Structure 1
Amino acid sequence: MHTFLPYAYLKGSFVEFEKATLSVATHALHYGTAAFGGMRGIPDPQNSRQILLFRADRHAQRLSKSARFLKYDLAPEEILKTLESFVRKNAPTTPFYLRPLVYTSDLGISPRLHNVEKDLLVYGIELGDYLSPEGVSCRISSWYRQEDRSFPLRGKISGGYITSSMAKTEAVESGFDEAIMMNSQGKVCEASGMNIFIVRDGSIVTPGVDQDILEGITRDSVITVARDLGYQVIERPLDKSELLIADEVFLSGTAAKVTPVKQIENYPLPKERPVTEALKKMITSITENREPRYNSWVHPVSLD
C-alpha cells in the first residue's frame, strides 16, 4: 500500500489527494495519450526546512520533450516551478517520489492529438526502496521492447508501459522479482522500468541509446559517475549470454536507484559486487548533497 502525499496538483490548483479525480471519459485513460516523469526527493539531512530533488532540471526537460509527442507545448521551467510549489505545499518529512503526468484531458472517443485539451497533474508518494537493496532475481521476458519506428521511445509515454506491465507480472508470477526485455534484434534492452548494466573484466557495459532503450536520467548519472571514478563505460549491443557470465549486473532507475541483480533465470551471479556498491554509494551521497562536485545535480527547495 502506498502512502500518498496529502495534496495533488490538478487542473491548475492544489486539492486534497482524495479529491483529485478525473472523468471516466478522460481521453488519456482510453488511449494512453499521456507522458509521465518520476523524481526522487528527500528532506535535506543538513537543513530541516529544505527539500532536495535529484536532477530536477533534467526531469523537467525530459517531460517537456515527451509532451511534444502529444502536441503539448509545456516549458520545462513551468514544470519545474509547479514541482517546487508542489513540494512546498506538501512539505514531505520522509523520502518521496513525485509523479508528474501530462495528458490529454479532454472528454471524447476519437484517438487523436489535434484539437484535444491537454493538462498537467502531479501527485507524490512516500517511497523508500522500490526493489530489494540486497539484490533481485530476473527472468528473460517473453515480451519484447517496442521499436522506435513504431513507438516514440524517446518519450516516457504512458501507453507503452503495457509491455512493461505484462513483463513484470510474467516475471513475478513465475517466481522472479523483475523482468529483462530484449529488443527486436534479440539484444538485451532494459528491465520493466529500469536500465541495465553489466560488469565484465573491470569494464561497465550497457546498451546504447540505439538499442530502443529509455534514455534514463539515472542511467546518465551512473555513466557519468562511473567514468569520473575511473571505470571504462562501454555503450554497445549486449547479448543475453553476457548476462549469465557477467561479474556483476545491476539495474538503474529513479525508483530503483542502483539495484544489484543476484540471479538471472537459473544462473546465480557472484555475491561480491564492488563496482555496483561503489556506484550505489556515490549516487546516494550525491542525492544527499554530500558531493560538491555534483552540486548542480541537486535542486534545493526551501520550505520557508
Structure 2
Amino acid sequence: MYSFLPIAFFKNEFVPFEEARISIATHALHYGTGAFGGLRGIPDPQNPKQILLFRLDRHCQRLSQSAKFLHYDLPAQKIEETIVTFVKKNQPNKSFYIRPFVYTSDLGIAPRVHNIEKDFFVYGLELGDYLSADGVNCRISSWYRQEDRSFPLRGKISAAYITSSLAKTEAVESGFDEAILMNSQGKVCEASGMNIFLVRNGQLITPGFDQDILEGITRDSIVKIAKDLGIETIERSVDKSELFIADEVFLSGTAAKITPVNRIENYQLPETRPLTEKLKEKLTAITENRDPNYQNWVYAISLDG
C-alpha cells in the first residue's frame, strides 16, 4: 500500500488528498489525453527542516512542453510555484515522489484536444527504492516502443504507458523484474519506465534521441556527469546482442535512480560494476546537495517559512 501525502493540488486549490476526485466521464480517463511528470524529494541530510528537489526546473519545463501536445498553455513557472507550495503544505519527513499531471478535464466523448477544458493537479507519496538496489533481471519484451511519427514521444503522454504496462506485466509474470523494449527498427530503446545504459570497454553507451526514447531527465544528468568525470560517453543505436556481452548494464529514471541489471534473458552480467557504482555514488551526492559543482541542480525548500 502506498502512503500518500495528505494535501493535493486540485481544481486550482489545495485540498485533502481524499477530496481530490474526478468524474468517471472525464475525457482523459477514456482517451489517455494527459501528460505527467515525476520528481523526487528528500529531507536534506544536513538540515531536516529543508527539502531537496532534484532538477525541479527541468521537470517543470518538460511537463510544460508535454502540455503543448494537448493544446494546453501551462507555464513552467506556474508548475514550479505550485510544487514548491505543495511541498511546504505537506511538510514531508521521508523520501517522497511528486506526481504532477495535466489532462483534458472536460466530460465528453469526442476524441480531441481542441475546444476542451484542461486542468492540472499534483499529489505525492512516500517512496523509497522503486526497484531493488541490488539489481534486477530483465527480459526482452515482445512489445515494441511506439514511433515518434505516430505518437508524440517528446512528451510524457499518459496514453503511451499502456505499452509500458503490458511489457512490465509480461516480464514479471514470466519470472523477471523488468522489461527492455525494442523500437520499430529492432534496436534497444528503453525499459518500461526507465532509460538504459551499457558499458563496453570503458565506454558508456546509451540509445540516442533518434531511437524513440523518452528524453529522460535522470538520463540527461548521467550523460552530463559522465562527461564531467572524463568517461567517454556515446549516444547511438544499440543492438540487442550488445546487451548480452556488455560489461555493465543499468537502468535510470526518477523513480529507479540508477539500478544495475544482473541478468538479461539467460545471460548473466558481470557482478563487478565500477562505472555504474561510480555514477551512482556521484548522483547520490548531487541529489543530497553534497557536491558544490552541481548545486544548481538542487532546489532547497525551507519548511520553516
TM-score, structure 1 length as denominator?
0.99
Aligned equivalent of 1:93: 93
Q: Are 1:121 and 2:121 an aligned pair?
A: yes
Name the aligned partner's letter for residue 61 of structure 1.
Q
Give per-residue Cα distances to partners, 1:196-222, cap 9 Å, x unaligned.
000000000000000000000000000
| Percent sequence identity over aligned pairs | 71
Match of residue 137 from structure 1: 137
Runs of 4 or more, structure 1, over 3 Å off, are: none
Q: Secondary structure at the match of 1:249?
A: strand
- Name the SS of the counterpart of 1:142 in structure 2: strand
Amino acid in structure 2 at the alignment position of 1:257: K
Q: Which residue of 2 aligns with 1:28?
A: 28
- In 2, the alpha carbon distance for the partners of 1:48 and 1:281 equals 21
Identify the residue that residue 56 of structure 2 maps to in structure 1: 56
- Whole-Å separation in 2 of the counterparts to 1:111 and 1:91: 39
Q: Secondary structure at the match of 2:48?
A: coil
Equivalent position of 1:177 in the other structure: 177
Structure-2 separation of matches of 1:185 and 1:270 = 28
The alignment partner of 1:48 has SS state of strand
Letter of the structure 2 residue corresponding to residue 209 of structure 1? F
What is the distance in 2 between the residues matched to 1:205 and 1:45? 32
* AA partner of residue 22 (structure 2): L
Aligned-pair distance for 1:230? Answer: 1.1
User: Which ranges in structure 2 are unaligned for 5 or more consecutive residues?
Assistant: none
Cα drift, residue 239 of structure 1: 0.3
Shift of 1:45: 1.2
2:291 maps to: 291
**Where does residue 154 of structure 2 map in the other structure?**
154
1:158-169, aligned counterparts within 5 Å?
158-169=158-169
Amino acid at match of 1:146: Q
Question: Corresponding residue for 2:249?
Answer: 249
| Greater shift in the superposed pair: 1-10 or 141-150 | 1-10
Q: Distance in 1 between matches of 2:48 and 2:141?
A: 44
The residue that corresponds to 1:219 in the other structure is 219
The Cα shift of 1:192 comes to: 0.2
Question: Residue 198 of structure 1: SS of its match in structure 2?
Answer: strand
Return the alpha-carbon distance in structure 2 between the equivalents of residues 167 and 213 of structure 1: 15
> CA offsets, 1:100-145, max 9 Å, x none?
0000011111111111000110000100100000000000000000
Q: Match of 1:134, SS?
A: coil
* Cα RMSD (Å): 0.5
Q: CA deviation at 1:14?
A: 1.0
Give distance in 2, aligned partners of 1:231 and 1:151.
33
Number of aligned positions between the proteins: 304
Q: Name the CA distance, whole Å, in 2 between partners of 1:250 and 1:45.
A: 26
Q: How far apart are residue 48 of structure 1 and its match?
A: 2.1
Looking at structure 1, the residues matched to 48 and 83 of structure 2 have their Cα atoms a distance apart, in angstroms, of 19
Name structure 1 gaps, 5 residues minimum: none
> Under a length normalisation based on structure 2, what TM-score does the superposition of the two structures give?
0.99
